[in-house]
Amino acid sequence: MAEYAGKVYLVGSGPGDAAYLTVQAQELLARAEVLVYDALVDGELLDLVPETCLKLDVGKRGGQPSTSQTEINRLLVEHCQQGKLVVRLKNGDPFVFGRAESEIKALRKTGCDYEVMPGLSSALVAPLLAGIPLTDPKLSRCFAVVTAHDPDAMNWVSLARIDTLVLLMGGRTLPEIVRRLRGHGRSPDTPVAIIRYAGRPNQQVWEGTLTSIVAETANASLSPCVIVVGEVVGLRKYLQPREQGRRQGKGEAGRGEWGPGDAGTRRRGDTKTRGGLFRFRAFFSIG
């Protein structure tokens, strides 16, 4: 099998905002000759590559035209065989609903060198930035992360029994998610939170229950979002970032709130990483 001088790095970008990009990912972007990136990648990250870097948008968004996985695989192989340093930038973590396995198989089959770099998954980042712990000694001893774009493919009997559910890609299927959970025995009073654009300056959070959340978000644009279902959502009133609490106001549905402002305003107290990125410090208020 032929070997090529190029190399493909499958890199997790985190939830989107540059503040949550790993230093390793930042350094690879600074060296990239070809950037193949997803739709949800923040535009700020595109400015971190050299001016000579070839940028290829292959983003996948539900219900919209997108580049096929076969074509993405072909692009990665082609540019690697040309001896290029290729960064395949994926939202979140490459191994959490990131379709990385298909791309790795294509690279291995053609003798292309590759490496996978982890990223912060929105499944973990979004609840934290909204002040929602996924586990709690009394309320939640386990949680599950599931993709919710196809409710018919999910085991609702099992999911309804799990203490805390984190649902990705569920903005378009929220009514069906609620119906299935309630239909399989989940209490209608179970708290629900929806976090949109986690970690970005325009982050928005809605709170409700399995009874109310559909009506409360009826006029809202939810995607891309992370949905959290479970009693731990009720802890948010104690644990949400203090700055976010001060900025509470009406969201698109009339019950949401904007925040965290700190993620985008870069005020005093932020710390700078190599290359000019910032690390976010969240301040929490108890009681």
3-state secondary structure 163-232: CEEEEECCCCCHHHHHHHHHHCCCCCCCEEEEEECCCCCCCEEEEEECCCHHHHCCCCCCCCEEEEECHH
Q: Across residues 5-17, what is the average pLDDT?
A: 93
For residue range 23-57, list pLDDT tens digits in order: 999 999 999 999 999 887 888 899 999 999 999 99
Question: Higher confidence at residue 6 or residue 281?
Answer: 6
Rounded-to-integer distance, Cα 142 and Cα 220, Å: 30
Residue with tokens 């939202």, as numbered in its chain: 91
Catalytic-role residue among 17, 38, 42, 93 = 38
- pLDDT computed for residue 243 by the predictor: 58
Residue with tokens 């379709």, as numbered in its chain: 99
pLDDT at residue 280 is higher than 50:
no
Is residue 150 flagged as an active site residue?
no
- pLDDT computed for residue 66 by the predictor: 79
Rounded-to-integer distance, Cα 146 and Cα 134, Å: 14
- pLDDT computed for residue 2 by the predictor: 57
Q: Across residues 223-244, what is the average pLDDT?
A: 89
- The pLDDT-based confidence of 138 (bands split at 50, 70, 90) is very high
CB 167 within 8 A of CB 146: yes
For residue range 181-203, list pLDDT tens digits in order: 999 999 999 999 999 999 888 89
Phi then psi for residue 34, to 5 deg, are: -135, 130
Q: How many residues does the chain have?
A: 287
CB 166 within 8 A of CB 226: yes
Q: Across residues 120-146, what is the average pLDDT?
A: 97
- pLDDT computed for residue 256 by the predictor: 54
CB 35 within 8 A of CB 45: no
Is residue 84 flagged as an active site residue?
no
Rounded-to-integer distance, Cα 97 and Cα 94, Å: 7
- The pLDDT-based confidence of 165 (bands split at 50, 70, 90) is very high
Neighbours of 67 (CB within 10 A): 17
Say which DSSP state 47 is in: T
Catalytic-role residue among 7, 60, 113, 270 = 60
- pLDDT computed for residue 199 by the predictor: 86
Rounded-to-integer distance, Cα 41 and Cα 32, Å: 16
Is residue 38 flagged as an active site residue?
yes
Task: Give the chain's domains with CATH numbers.
Answer: 7-117 (3.40.1010.10), 122-265 (3.30.950.10)
Rounded-to-integer distance, Cα 217 and Cα 201, Å: 20
- The pLDDT-based confidence of 257 (bands split at 50, 70, 90) is low
Cβ burial of 158 (10 Å; 0-12, 13-18, 19+) is: exposed
- pLDDT computed for residue 64 by the predictor: 64
- The pLDDT-based confidence of 88 (bands split at 50, 70, 90) is very high
Catalytic-role residue among 90, 117, 154, 169 = 169
Rounded-to-integer distance, Cα 58 and Cα 67, Å: 5
